[in-house]
Structure 1
């Protein structure tokens, strides 16, 4: 008998990524010669949705695109990856969200987000989330749509008993009273610094940051450290999951893929540390490819990496 597919609801951003690659970033007033350019579907919410869908979940995306040339392309790409887009709304008179991404030779990314239609998310999207959460295993959220919309969706998910996974990217102040509504909060190194008001540079300081977030009421706090792995703090204890060894060429969307994979693994009943290893494997595979959604691995790729290391 086959295992029922998990259901993941994603409320969040849908962007087109404009990606430029150059040997180094220009200083003020300087022009540098780039080596590559691509227009790729992205947005943290859409990335998470595609990641979860490619790993076998039924995924329902809630969000907005603009009525520009990018809007239909973004919707079509989500559909092509098996994501339910019945609650993705086209907003008249507004551009789709755009992310301008610069990659240097060290494969670090620098991103400027212009969120466009994403910032028009309102009660319509909250109502859509409320409908979509029926029978769902998890709600995934980020911070590229209005915060009040996300927090209202969190409240609904809590009332319905649906796991909430919150990715505080890009970071901004979250009311302290909201932390207890998060089952999981998963900042990266720089995001944890903003949320916790401290320097996070290694595993030891990540443990301290995770403890701060736990003290605010979240059930599980994760600190993503890139090549240094992931630190977690939860009721069952704290720990560190090392990163997988891969040759990274593009770090864009690794955290989004991690979140989508984590939601799938937990929905399937994997214990937390196993789920973190699964999510870390997905994130590691993403950085070996260019792009955001195009880089998301399928289940077979993740399983092969898990078996090999």
Structure 2
């Protein structure tokens, strides 16, 4: 397999995670256990997957000039990820994500964006330069937990080199409408799709209609992540529902990032959209079965045997 380049632009955080035995809000003070510190953030997670799947992986983003920057970056360096385009925001803290995981495994996150939202022209130029210098074939994966103008500059640089772009639209209110026409793929969850389109999504038919509307806006491939671990795919040949596989959730932290990262990798490797979406579903399903995000991410060999079964279960949705 030819080694390609995955460029990951977006949030880079220091994660602090605990398990709790009661739902948040059930009492004023909750006792916690299994405290962990991780390198986190959406771009950090997709970059990790690029390396895990044996591609050249570059991380693009911002950290602070504090001690938490090393928590965020050191594990990625050790994994062989190029972090040379990660710049430091003077006088700013690195992004911090505080995560609680209750018994139902559905994580709750409080995010302080910090350096992720503190960009200047020099930092943006570092991102553009990285996109311009990346070895082809390449794919840019971006999220919107950094300023919209930075994402726009990166997408424009990718377009000049015909590098496809996959967007995780978190936060949806930061997605500029004119950005959609430049995307190969977009991976909203249900609430993000609601934010993009301004209406509720309460059924598979609603999801299919939402995917159709995003395609009309110019996105070539829409993969709407469903809360049960499946997805709704529209790549121009009608909406397809790929159901979730069998997984016992332990921790949903980072599962959505796993979906986006593996989808981008599969598309970069030349897989058809339906197969790429099945790879993404299989990987994100595996990611919920272990505590933490990166420690839970599956290898290529762990995902591959599940893909054909998911594709056989895929069904058309009328919308």
Q: Write the mapping of 1:234-249 to structure 2, written as runs, cut at 5 A.
A: 234-249=235-250
Q: Write the mapping of 1:225-240 to structure 2, written as runs, cut at 5 A.
A: 225-227=226-228, 229-240=230-241
Distance across 2 between alignment mates of 1:200 and 1:210:
11
Is contact 2:44–2:59 with CA below 8 Å preserved after alignment? yes
Q: 1:295 to 1:123 in 2, by over 3 A?
A: farther
Q: Write the mapping of 1:167-186 to structure 2, written as runs, cut at 5 A.
A: 167-186=168-187
Distance across 1 between alignment mates of 2:292 and 2:139:
25
1:64 corresponds to 2:62? yes
Distance across 2 between alignment mates of 1:116 and 1:243:
35
Pick one of 33, 36, 39 that aligns with 1:35.
33
SS in 1 for 2:240: strand
Structure 1: gaps of 5 or more residues: none
Structure 2: gaps of 5 or more residues: 311-319
User: Which residue does the alignment assign to 2:317?
Assistant: none
SS in 2 for 1:35: strand
User: Which residue does the alignment assign to 1:144?
Assistant: 145
TM superposition shift of 1:202: 2.9
> Which TM-score applies when normalising by structure 1?
0.93
TM superposition shift of 1:59: 0.7
**1:30-88 deviation per Cα after TM superposition (whole angstroms, max 9, x unaligned):** 11222332211110110111012101211111111112221122221111222111112
SS in 1 for 2:228: helix
Pick one of 100, 106, 109 that aligns with 1:108.
106
User: Which residue does the alignment assign to 2:314?
Assistant: none
Distance across 2 between alignment mates of 1:27 and 1:196:
30
User: Which residue does the alignment assign to 2:303?
Assistant: 302
SS in 2 for 1:108: coil
Cα root mean square deviation, aligned: 1.8
SS in 2 for 1:248: coil
SS in 2 for 1:138: strand
Distance across 2 between alignment mates of 1:217 and 1:183:
9
Q: Write the mapping of 1:157-172 to structure 2, written as runs, cut at 5 A.
A: 157-172=158-173
Is contact 2:22–2:102 with CA below 8 Å preserved after alignment? yes
SS in 2 for 1:285: helix
TM superposition shift of 1:173: 4.4
Is contact 2:97–2:112 with CA below 8 Å preserved after alignment? yes
TM superposition shift of 1:172: 1.4
**1:208-253 deviation per Cα after TM superposition (whole angstroms, max 9, x unaligned):** 1111211212112221003251111122332121111111111011
User: Which residue does the alignment assign to 1:53?
Assistant: 51
Distance across 2 between alignment mates of 1:12 and 1:122:
15
Moved more, 257-266 or 87-96: 87-96
Distance across 2 between alignment mates of 1:236 and 1:127:
38
SS in 1 for 2:298: coil
1:15 corresponds to 2:16? no
Distance across 2 between alignment mates of 1:14 and 1:129:
14
TM superposition shift of 1:29: 7.0
Q: 1:308 to 1:273 in 2, by over 3 A?
A: closer
User: Which residue does the alignment assign to 2:196?
Assistant: 195
Is contact 1:196–1:209 with CA below 8 Å preserved after alignment? yes
User: Which residue does the alignment assign to 1:208?
Assistant: 209
Distance across 2 between alignment mates of 1:246 and 1:234:
26
Distance across 2 between alignment mates of 1:196 and 1:76:
38
Pick one of 4, 9, 19 that aligns with 1:6.
4
SS in 1 for 2:172: coil
How many residues are aligned here? Answer: 307
